[in-house]
A = this chain, B = another copy of it.
Amino acid sequence: MPRERESAAEPAGGRRPLSRELIVREAIAFIDDEGITALTMRALAGRLGVEAMSLYRYVNGREDLLEAVVGSLVERIEVAPPDDEGLAANWHGYLQWLAHSVRDVALQHPAIFPLVATRHPAATWLRPPLRSVRIVEQFLTTLIQHGFREEQAVEIYRVFTSFLLGQLLLEVAARGESTAPVQVPLDEGDADVPNRDEELDIARFPTVARLRSLLSEDHSQAEFERSLEALLDRLDLLFAQ
């Protein structure tokens, strides 16, 4: 006798029943695969083997879906390092760990992070829908319990967040570039050579031309670590206790 199933509504298609979580998860996968502009209600529904309007029972329209997607990613940010690594013992360790946690999520979903960055910069994390209070809470309490004054903690929160935002936005963009397939138009050959004048004008921009390869190198990882270190050192200096 087969193990009982909690839902008898399985139409023998092996299709999991719809749910908000499933829809959001699939939306994330979809955006990862095909980009955010390709995400339409119908297309997403199709991927779930379902009609578009069915989604509306679980999701309050496309805007709400995107909110949920962002929320889901924010949820994945770990708030506290595992005890056994002793990272929580000093605030350097904590901030370092948090930065990497955010970075991991951002790099796992490069197509979504810009959305997170523009719709939920730290400034708006405390407005409904409250997406990440728990991160802020953890952040502030950790710093305060390590001896910072309240205003200092808040200031560090701001500095730290804007640092992360800029750094990751750039890194995500850089990676998207290097991995993106070169967009060859594959149109009819009618296209008149329009991008010749777009070519880098070596006469006008000699330095950029000379340093081009240097500029397009990807140091993201190392640079991230170094900049993070620098930020922490600076905080050390600023708030020497």
Contacts and interface: CB of A to CB of B under 8 A. Distances in A.
Interface residues of A, number: 61
A3 to B, nearest CB: 36
Q: Which secondary structure dominates chain A's binding surface?
A: helix
Contact of A198 (B122, B123, B130): B130
A211 B140 contact: yes
**Residue with the highest number of chain B CB atoms closer than 10 Å, among A140, A157, A174, A200:** A140
Interface string A126-138: 1111100110110
A126 B215 contact: yes
Given A130-B200, A159-B227, A124 B166 contact: no
A128 B198 contact: yes
A193 interface: no
A51 B202 CA distance: 41
Interface stretch (A100-108, A113-121, A184-192): A113-121
A126 to B, nearest CB: 6
Given A126-B216, A170-B158, A200 B133 contact: yes
A31 interface: no
A22 interface: no
Interface string A144-167: 100000110111011101111111
Given A118-B173, A169-B169, 20 more contacts: A121-B169, A121-B170, A123-B173, A133-B204, A133-B205, A133-B208, A136-B205, A136-B215, A137-B206, A137-B207, A140-B208, A150-B210, A150-B211, A150-B214, A151-B214, A153-B211, A154-B215, A162-B169, A162-B227, A230-B234
Q: Which 6 A-B pairs have the closest CB atoms?
A: A166-B166, A162-B166, A165-B166, A123-B174, A114-B118, A121-B173
